[in-house]
Amino acid sequence: MRIALINENSQAAKNGTILAALKKVVEPMGHTVDNYGMYAADDAAQLTYVQNGILAALLLNSGAADYVVTGCGTGEGAMLALNSFPGVICGHVEDPVDAYTFAHVNDGNAIAMPFAKGFGWGGELNLEYCFEKLFGFGHGQGYPPERREPEMRNKGILDDVRAKAYRPLLEILPDLDPALVKGAVAGEHFAELFFPNCKDDAIAAYVKGLLAD
């Protein structure tokens, strides 16, 4: 699994801490981590939590990432931003139980975490424990086990509703503020991470056009 880490500007200073915890847990499992930044609070490319949603949607819909880990101060804004787009099911994860139940009950492809609220002494340990429960035990297996069938049925219903409720991503992005969208892909290492892993030629062409403007 290719996991993308995205930080917005208010919590960019924690990028190194989050990245270290994520890589420590998931790389021994065989997963790959791509760090899309922000890398520091004074980065030239400043991401808002709304732009986190745009970037996550591009990564997940293009196949450049299989999963996105992101957040903001409370995690709420990032969750709402990501869930505004097709192809993204983002859960709000504060603790290891949230991580485990989201993986098995909701079977999404992104999480938003609170990187300021409650992030004090031992914050990096909570990150590690969350990532262990999120990525170390599979997905969509149901919890508790006897609820597996109805939970999988409900997930299928949700996927069908979402498919009918959202327009395709490439119909949405041109209607947004071009500066907002272009800013979402302005990160220092975006191009070197995105294009080699993008599996959708139309999305790749759209992004190349953005970057060429």
> Is 196:84 a contact under the CB 8 Å cutoff?
no
Say what the pLDDT of residue 213 is.
82
Pairing of strands 90-92, 67-72: unpaired
Fold of 2-212: Ribose 5-phosphate Isomerase B; Chain: A, (3.40.1400)
Residues 152-160: contacts with CB under 8 Å, at least 24 apart: 155/106, 155/107, 158/89
**Which residues make beta-bridge pairs with 34?**
4
pLDDT in tens, 141-199: 889 989 889 998 999 999 999 999 999 999 999 999 999 999 999 999 999 999 999 99
Whether 85 has a pLDDT exceeding 90, the answer reads yes
> Is 134:99 a contact under the CB 8 Å cutoff?
yes
pTM to 2 decimal places: 0.96
Say what the pLDDT of residue 142 is.
87
Share of the chain above pLDDT 70, in %: 100
Write the single-letter amino acid at 124.
Answer: E
- Higher-confidence position of 145 and 35: 35
Share of the chain above pLDDT 90, in %: 92
C-alpha span between 118 and 209 (Å, rounded): 41
Query: Of 42, 122, 109, 120, nearest to 79 (Cα)?
Result: 109
